[in-house]
């Protein structure tokens, strides 16, 4: 329920999965409008191409909005009962996961946290059954010189120790708002 000017807008609460489905539908529409716009342009109908392009842009905004809502819900649901020493990235797309990881790493640094368990999953829900987040998150942390143990405490996790920070300090210094 939200107030918009003099109108009330009621949106049924959706699950994260439903928001992802909604994003997928809008993405399909977006691609269709882009293709139709290109065809209209190629046929010399510039006005129609522009109109279709604008409709595509509106669909893209819907994609981004639905994915943002899905990410917020996945993150909230997965981390509501976890402390600062655990971060569950299940359900998040790579960019969303890296954004949450950066925030948590900064928070751990500020609070003097000694370690962090990053739950990335085993890939059971990935299209091909292979982990998507794990190798990317692992590579990201290695690039910043973090001391990590993949598979600790289980195969869907990455354990981070902050004693060996390497260039992690540079990341924190560039991210910190003071």
Decide: 89 and 128 in contact? Cβ < 8 Å: no
Q: Please give the Cα distance from 67 to 35 (Å, whole number).
A: 22
Q: Are 123 and 87 in contact, with CB atoms under 8 Å apart?
A: no
Joined tokens for residue 134: 């794990």
User: Are residues 97 and 56 part of one domain?
Assistant: no
- Domain span including residue 36: 13-77
Sequence-distant (6+) residues with CB within 8 A of 8 are: 1, 2
Least confidently predicted of 60-74, 126-140, 156-170 = 156-170
Residue 42 is assigned to a structural domain of this protein = yes
Do 86 and 72 belong together in one domain?
no
pLDDT at 121: 87
Domain boundary (77, 105, 127) is at 77
| pTM for this entry | 0.78
28 three-class SS: helix
> Which of 27, 57, 77 is at the close of a domain?
77
Are 55 and 113 in the same domain?
no
Task: Give domain status of residue 168, yes or no.
Answer: yes
Instruction: Look at the chain and report how many structural domains it folds into.
Output: 2
Q: Which of 25, 47, 77 is the last residue of a domain?
A: 77
Q: Are residues 92 and 73 in the same domain?
A: no
For residue 2, being part of any structural domain is answered with: no
Q: Indicate the SS3 state at residue 130.
A: coil
For the record, the structure tokens of 4 come out as 């918009």
Phi, psi dihedrals of residue 123, rounded to the nearest 5°: 100, 10
Q: What is the pLDDT of residues 4-13, one digit of tens each?
A: 444 555 667 8
Tell me, yes or no, whether 24 lies in a domain: yes
Q: Are 160 and 145 in contact (CB under 8 A)?
A: no
> Same structural domain for residues 96 and 155?
yes
Are residue 34 and residue 92 in the same domain, yes or no? no
pLDDT tens, residue by residue, 97-154: 999 999 999 999 899 999 999 999 887 667 777 778 899 999 999 998 899 999 999 9
Chain position carrying tokens 């354990």: 159
pLDDT tier at 28, thresholds 50, 70, 90: very high
DSSP annotation of 162: S
- 3 state DSSP class of 86: strand
* Same domain for 40 and 113: no
- Return d(Cα 56, Cα 58) in angstroms, integer: 5
34 and 52 in a common domain? yes
In-domain check, residue 1? no
Instruction: Classify residue 141: in a domain, yes or no.
Output: yes
């Amino acid at each position: 329920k939200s107030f918009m000017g003099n109108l009330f807008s009621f949106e049924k609460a959706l699950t994260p999965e439903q928001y992802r489905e909604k994003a997928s539908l809008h993405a399909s529409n977006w691609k269709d409008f882009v293709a139709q716009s290109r065809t209209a342009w190629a046929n010399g109908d510039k006005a129609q191409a522009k109109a279709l392009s604008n409709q595509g842009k509106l669909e893209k905004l819907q994609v981004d909005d639905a994915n943002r809502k899905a990410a917020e819900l996945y993150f909230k649901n997965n981390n509501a009962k976890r402390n600062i020493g655990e971060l569950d990235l299940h359900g998040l797309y790579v960019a969303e996961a890296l954004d949450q990881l950066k925030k948590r790493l900064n928070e751990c640094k500020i609070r003097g946290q000694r370690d962090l368990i990053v739950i990335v999953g085993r890939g059971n829900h990935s299209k091909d059954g292979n982990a998507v987040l794990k190798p990317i998150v692992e590579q990201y942390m290695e690039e910043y010189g973090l001391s990590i143990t993949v598979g600790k405490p289980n195969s869907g996790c990455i354990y981070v120790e902050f004693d060996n920070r390497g260039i992690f300090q540079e990341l924190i210094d560039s991210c910190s708002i003071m």
